């Protein structure tokens, strides 16, 4: 037997763990890095994902990031994940957190809403990555869904992160508790808390997911030091809450706010006090007919989606959200809204010119005549279009006012106005509706049965590229993209996103002056 054969035989008889060490050392010495292969080791155990057909992207769905908040853990901050044995097949989404499940509600068709089951065992997240090695340090984008803090899940079709991952980021979607199970405060809960706070459990879930990202995303090729949070509607509100919370320090690198409070500036969002929230919690307890917190924790979860239990939301609890916070933390921010955000398409009656004038006097008081001169109507049929124009102007000026204030903290701010209406012959009345930018941001047009045009594919490619570029560098600009100017308080300009891409005035000069005067009175 040759000396080589004898050496090989001895090697094959070595303990397999020692052999693994030898192989790893040889790779390091040779300048190689181990490839990203399943199973991946994360907090709690090992997970195996699924490679998308005809794609470099691998997805990991339904990874637990905290213990199920059930039983005695209902209305407690999230606890560490419970370890599991073997390899968890991360090939399907988890349940959504407890909520009503309408499935669709125009203009939000099935692609915008959760189609699976819901339960209290819901603290899971999903990862999409095209990384080939664990140490690649790709930018990370963590998406927080909307739904008025009462609906939504990371399993919603339009939030699929595969297309973003193909463009170079590691995309993450997270679940968080919503409704009363996510935001109920109560005097007994406050007393049992070491922080003297209750409510905001949904936001604490978001924090726990970000902490999971810090600890585990490197195994998927992500960079824990480059994490962008982005969200729409209530998800945008969540982004702002996280930016303000001292508990998020070190977890966030950049933020994207889609259709959040900036377009309603300078009036800040309504955050109720802990005392007010506790009163609402006691009222909910009375509606449910139970006498103690222990009994509340035994109430079936489905009872909490009943309308008479009440609505809960963001609370200035003195722990997650300090009572004296005025401005967000110092991270670059991108913020904007859709052209038809928050606009009602239904009116009880056809307004007349006289109705329009009366409404203007009620709303604008001593400034009504100025408003009517800037936004005149000659006939009843003019009213819907003129009201829409005024609402859009006001919102763009509001974003500009917010950006000026935010720039003092964030240094770098980018604003946008999205006006591409999804092609929808059956419902053209919805226009660029609230959430209508999401198929473009996620570049997921193929999930929708719509008569897409070439311009829609261009918009989706460019918008998703802007979002990825911002996550990577804090600047949305890149090769082949129309230039997106950084916000400048001396220029009344925003970035128009849609069929026409490029900078645009936020409104005509005299209208800018009117809205700035009206909206900043409370700031002076």
Spatial separation of the C-alpha atoms in residues 155 and 143, rounded to whole Å: 11
The reported pLDDT for the residue numbered 32 is 40
The reported pLDDT for the residue numbered 282 is 95
Residue 147 per-residue DSSP state: S
The reported pLDDT for the residue numbered 513 is 97
Give 38-103 as a 3 state SS string: CCEEECCEEEECEECCCCCCEEEEEEECCCCCCHHHCCCCCCCCCCCCCEEECECCCCECCCCCCC
The reported pLDDT for the residue numbered 53 is 76
Q: What is the pLDDT of residues 37-47, one digit of tens each?
A: 889 999 999 99
Spatial separation of the C-alpha atoms in residues 333 and 406, rounded to whole Å: 9
Q: What is the CATH number of domain 33-316?
A: 3.40.50.1820
Largest interatomic CA distance in the chain: 105
Is the pLDDT score of 4 beyond 80? no
Helices (H), 219-288: 234-244, 274-288
Give 296-326 as a 3 state SS string: HCCCCHHHHHCHHHCCCCCEECCCCCCCCCC
Query: Rounded mean pLDDT of 118-145?
Result: 96
| Letter string b/e over residues 277-303, b meaning 16 or more CB atoms within 10 A of that residue's CB | bbebbeebbeebebeebeebeebebeb
Please report the DSSP string for 387-440 in residue order. Answer: HHHHHHHHHHHHHHHHHHHHHHHHS-EEEEEE-PPPP-TT-GGG-SBTTTTHHH
Contact 445, 473 (CB under 8 A): no
Phi and psi at 227, nearest 5°, equal: -120, 120
pLDDT grade for 326, boundaries at 50, 70 and 90 = low
pTM: 0.90
The reported pLDDT for the residue numbered 274 is 95
Residue 258, beta-bridge partner list: 232, 336
Burial class (CB in 10 A: 0-12, 13-18, 19+), 427: middle
Q: What is the pLDDT of residues 135-164, one digit of tens each?
A: 899 999 999 999 999 999 999 999 999 999
Cis omega before residue 266 (within 30°)?
Answer: yes
Q: Which of 69, 98, 93, 94 is nearest to 81 (CA)?
A: 69
Distances (CA, A) of 21 to 6, 14, 28, 210, 348: 21, 11, 11, 32, 74
The continuous run of DSSP H or E covering 513 comes out as helix 509-520
The reported pLDDT for the residue numbered 523 is 52
Query: Rounded mean pLDDT of 413-433?
Result: 96
The reported pLDDT for the residue numbered 21 is 36
Spatial separation of the C-alpha atoms in residues 354 and 16, rounded to whole Å: 86
pLDDT grade for 307, boundaries at 50, 70 and 90 = confident
Per-chain mean pLDDT for the chain: 89
The reported pLDDT for the residue numbered 521 is 78
Residue 127, beta-bridge partner list: 60, 172
Across 12-16, 179-183, 189-193, 336-340, least confident range? 12-16
From-to residues of CATH 3.40.50.1820 in the chain: 33-316
Is the pLDDT score of 290 beyond 60? yes
Distances (CA, A) of 211 to 177, 315, 395: 16, 21, 34
Is the pLDDT score of 455 beyond 80? yes
The reported pLDDT for the residue numbered 255 is 97
First and final C-alpha spacing in the chain:
92
Distances (CA, A) of 337 to 34, 231, 400, 517: 43, 12, 12, 22
Cis omega before residue 39 (within 30°)?
Answer: yes
Residue 241 per-residue DSSP state: H
Contact 133, 195 (CB under 8 A): no
Q: What is the pLDDT of residues 234-263, one digit of tens each?
A: 999 999 999 989 999 999 999 999 998 877
The reported pLDDT for the residue numbered 344 is 53
The continuous run of DSSP H or E covering 210 comes out as helix 201-216
Q: Which of 233, 165, 159, 167 is nearest to 447 (CA)?
A: 159
């Amino acid at each position: 037997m040759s000396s080589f054969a004898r050496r090989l035989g001895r090697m094959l008889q070595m303990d397999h763990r020692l052999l693994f060490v030898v192989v790893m050392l040889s790779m390091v010495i040779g300048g190689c890095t181990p490839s990203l292969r399943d199973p991946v080791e994360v907090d709690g155990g090992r997970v195996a994902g699924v490679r998308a057909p005809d794609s470099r992207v691998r997805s990991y769905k339904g990874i637990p990031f905290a213990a199920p908040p059930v039983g005695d853990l209902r209305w407690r901050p999230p606890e560490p994940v419970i370890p599991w044995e073997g390899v968890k097949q991360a090939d399907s989404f988890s349940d959504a957190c407890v909520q009503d499940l309408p499935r669709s509600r125009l203009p939000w068709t099935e692609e915008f809403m959760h189609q699976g089951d819901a339960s209290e065992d819901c603290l899971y997240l999903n990862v999409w990555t095209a990384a080939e090695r664990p140490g690649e340090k790709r930018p990370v984008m963590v998406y927080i869904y909307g739904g008025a803090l009462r609906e939504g899940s990371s399993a919603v079709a339009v939030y699929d992160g595969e297309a973003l991952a193909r463009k170079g980021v590691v995309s993450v979607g997270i679940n968080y508790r919503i409704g009363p199970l996510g935001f109920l405060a109560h005097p007994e809960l406050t007393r049992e808390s070491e922080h003297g706070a209750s409510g905001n459990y949904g936001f604490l879930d978001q924090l726990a997911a970000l902490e999971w990202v810090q600890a585990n995303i490197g195994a998927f090729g992500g960079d824990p030091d480059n994490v962008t949070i982005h969200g729409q509607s209530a998800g945008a509100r969540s982004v702002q809450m996280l930016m303000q919370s001292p508990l998020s320090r070190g977890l966030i690198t950049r933020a994207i706010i889609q259709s959040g409070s900036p377009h309603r500036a300078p009036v800040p969002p309504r955050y109720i006090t802990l005392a007010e929230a506790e009163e609402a919690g006691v009222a909910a307890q009375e509606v449910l007919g139970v006498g103690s917190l222990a009994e509340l924790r035994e109430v079936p979860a489905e009872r909490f989606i009943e309308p008479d239990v009440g609505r809960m939301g963001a609370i200035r609890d003195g722990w997650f959200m300090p009572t004296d916070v005025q401005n967000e933390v110092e991270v670059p921010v991108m913020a904007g809204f859709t052209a038809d955000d928050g606009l009602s398409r239904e009116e009880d009656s056809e307004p007349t010119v006289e109705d329009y004038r009366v409404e203007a006097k009620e709303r604008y008081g001593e400034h009504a005549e100025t408003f009517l001169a800037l936004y005149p109507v000659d006939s009843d049929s003019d009213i819907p279009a003129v009201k829409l124009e005024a609402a859009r102007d006001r919102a763009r000026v509001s974003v500009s006012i917010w950006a000026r204030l935010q720039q003092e903290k964030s240094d770098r701010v980018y604003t946008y106005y999205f006006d591409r209406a999804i092609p929808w012959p059956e419902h053209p009345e919805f226009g660029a509706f609230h959430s209508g930018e999401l198929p473009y941001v996620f570049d997921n047009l193929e999930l929708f049965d719509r008569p897409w045009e070439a311009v829609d594919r261009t918009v989706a490619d460019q918008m998703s590229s802007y979002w990825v570029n911002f996550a990577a560098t804090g600047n949305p600009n890149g090769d082949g993209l129309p230039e997106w100017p950084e916000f400048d308080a001396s220029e009344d300009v925003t970035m128009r996103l849609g069929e026409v891409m490029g900078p645009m005035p936020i409104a005509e000069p005299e209208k800018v002056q009117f809205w700035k005067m009206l909206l900043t009175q409370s700031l002076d």
